[in-house]
Amino acid sequence: MEHLTEHWEELRGCIMHAAEQLSSIHTAQQQKLADLRGLKSMAPQLLLSLRSAMYPQIFDSSSGDALLQMRISSHLQQSAILLREMLCMAMDEQAPIDATVCAFLQSLPDITRTLATDIRAAYEGDPAARSEAEIMLAYPAFEAISIYRLAHRLYELEVPLIPRMMTEHAHQTTGIDIHPGATIGPYFFIDHGTGVVIGETCTIGDHVKLYQGVTLGAKSFETDDGGNPIKGMKRHPDIGNHVVIYAGATILGGNTVIGDGCVVAAGAVVTADVPPYCVVGGVPANVNPLQAGSEEPACFFLPSVTKSKIYRKSCRKFFPKCDRDVTIHGYTKFIQYKQAHLRFSRASSAKLRRPPPPLTPGISMLRRNISIHSAQKHDRMLNSKPPERTGRKALEAIRTRHK
């Protein structure tokens, strides 16, 4: 304490000098930055209030026997007040703040219905899932996807800053980074999830499943005259319907399109378009059509339009209640799959017809010696005379000739 008292005047002078410099920096930036004190801490509160209204039986921490509608109404009122306060801090005074709050609250039922498909996809896609409540409470995928869908709606309403804060909160909590500007269809599931990155301009279709470490990112950026990246350009890939992307796969580029029903193998690096119903793997990626009877065929989300046991079994694997009625869409997809399989069969047959690789000198000489020995043995058998008969049968033969 005495040592601190001796140097207190010097320490106090350093503090005052640093405070003066920070104050001058803040004064210079005051025209550029708004007063956003407390905004970062409001985002988790808003998310908890919204999800308590959407799933009161899971996230509602209030006690009492109030009616369900009253509890939901209370959470919605709290969410509206909190969101309006945040919008007043993040948006201009001329912005339609009240209209934005109303539009967002009116979209909550649709968001809840879409999240129900995501929960169903997680339950059907993960054999370790025991119940939907387990998915909502213990799965990081639901945490990240539910926050993304709320943030995406605010992004569509052109709300600045707040959507990105919401998804970054999910990123810190789960390790899953989904930009609120990405467009993702229903029945979306991320298994495990750690390290998944989905960029701003990425589009993902229906019934898509990702594993940990998947990156849907940008390959390069278009720059202006000053060398700075141009904002708002398409930079991330498009993923079709019924696509499975395994762990550690990387798909890059704004012009890259992954067709419907594709399977991207673990660790693959894809920077070019992939036609529908193909398997992609390797670095750089190799594209092969899916084989009939494969145990991991994304293309078998098709309806059962054939009497083949393989196709019926694979369809029932993904759609236990799927009827066998032929639909125009399903039949078209089935024809595309058959054509791809036919091309694969022809390519395999062509590979089988290729001449074998040349043998080594030692094996060639051995093969030549065996062939020569076999030919000589065959010649000896042709040129040799039949053995003379003796005994009773020989006498009978002689008598027969002389008769």
How far separated are the first and last CA of the chain, in Å rounded? 145
Cα 383 to Cα 8, 77, 387: the distances in Å are: 121, 109, 12
Same domain, residue pair 61 and 147: yes
Domain boundary among 265, 289, 313: 289
Same domain, residue pair 256 and 194: yes
Question: Which amino acid does the sequence have at 208?
Answer: V
Same domain, residue pair 107 and 156: yes
Residue-wise pLDDT tens digits, 197-213: 999 999 999 999 999 99
Same domain, residue pair 199 and 258: yes
- What does the H/E/C string look like for 125-159? HCCCCCCHHHHHHHCHHHHHHHHHHHHHHHHHCCC
Residue 379 located in a structural domain:
no
Predicted local distance difference test score (pLDDT) of residue 37: 83
CATH number at residue 98: 1.10.3130.10
Same domain, residue pair 151 and 218: no
Domain boundary among 266, 289, 312: 289
Cα angle 163, 164, 165 (rounded to 5 degrees) comes to: 90
Mean pLDDT score of the chain: 78
Same domain, residue pair 118 and 46: yes
The answer to whether residue 252 scores a pLDDT higher than 50 is yes
Instruction: Considering only residues 94 and 180, tell me which one the structure prediction assigns the higher pLDDT.
Output: 180
Q: Per mean pLDDT, which of 44-48, 225-229, 369-373 is the most reliable?
A: 44-48
Average pLDDT over residues 370-377: 54
CATH number at residue 281: 2.160.10.10
Give residue 332's domain range: 297-355
352 vs 338: CA distance, rounded Å: 21
Residue 112 located in a structural domain:
yes
The answer to whether residue 380 scores a pLDDT higher than 50 is yes
Same domain, residue pair 211 and 106: no
Residue-wise pLDDT tens digits, 128-141: 999 999 999 999 99
Predicted local distance difference test score (pLDDT) of residue 304: 32
pTM: 0.69
Backbone angles phi, psi at 209, to 5 degrees: -125, 130
277 vs 338: CA distance, rounded Å: 10
Average pLDDT over residues 358-375: 48
Same domain, residue pair 285 and 195: yes
Number of domains in the chain: 3
Residue-wise pLDDT tens digits, 305-316: 333 444 444 444
Same domain, residue pair 95 and 194: no
Domain boundary among 174, 190, 208: 174
